[in-house]
Amino acid sequence: MKKSIISLCGALCISLAAGAQVILAPSVIAAGGNYTESGQISISWTLGELAVRTLAGGNMILTQGFQQPFDTDVGNGPETRSWNIMVYPNPVKDVLTIRFGMEKAADFLVQVQDVTGRVLAVEQHSRVLPGDMVQLNTSGYSEGIYFIKLSSPERDQIKVISISKH
């Protein structure tokens, strides 16, 4: 009888450990706050965040005390503004649209990366014209932060855009 109970407890612990998942999604613990969106505008606010500390370990960084923005736009120089690229909706649910508004046709490599830098998708788009749109299927991705890395050999530049998957 004792062996049965120990075996049952062991099996329960193993099944619980196997079902546990690590979810890397932004979250905040605060006294109050809200998120709302209308059209292409979103507002997110919090009240009463008390702890202020940054913890780093491995390839993860946890910043406590301040609400972190969803958008990060990083380029290799001021010329990246001339790309005139729109990525929407952000946060995304199932389909992300990239609209190219540059001045002339160009080739683009589009990569989707998770927060650890792992490449999840790569798409080569040849001769993208101004006004063209590319749609990325994000329905298979779990909730979290992803990076869209756009590169063009004609410009020798890279543009990285942070998106949030809900």
Task: Look at residues 46, 64, 82 and tell me which one is the last residue of a structural domain.
Answer: 64
Residues 56 and 86 grouped into a single domain: no
Q: What integer is the mean pLDDT of 16-23?
A: 48
Q: What SS3 state is found at 86?
A: strand
Q: What is the CATH number of the domain that holds 130?
A: 2.60.40.3080
Question: Of 114, 17, 112, which Cα lies nearest the Cα of 60?
Answer: 114
Residues 48 and 84 grouped into a single domain: no
The tally of domains found in the chain comes to 2
Range of the domain at 86: 73-165
Q: pLDDT digits over 118-145, tens only?
A: 899 999 999 999 899 999 999 999 888 8
Residues of the chain above pLDDT 70, percent: 55
Q: What is the pLDDT of residue 136?
A: 92
Residues 92 and 135 grouped into a single domain: yes
Q: Is the pLDDT of residue 77 over 60?
A: no
Residues 56 and 84 grouped into a single domain: no
Distance CA 116, CA 98 (A): 22
Contact predicate 163/146, CB 8 Å: yes
Question: Of 71, 64, 102, which Cα lies nearest the Cα of 89?
Answer: 71
Residues 60 and 15 grouped into a single domain: yes
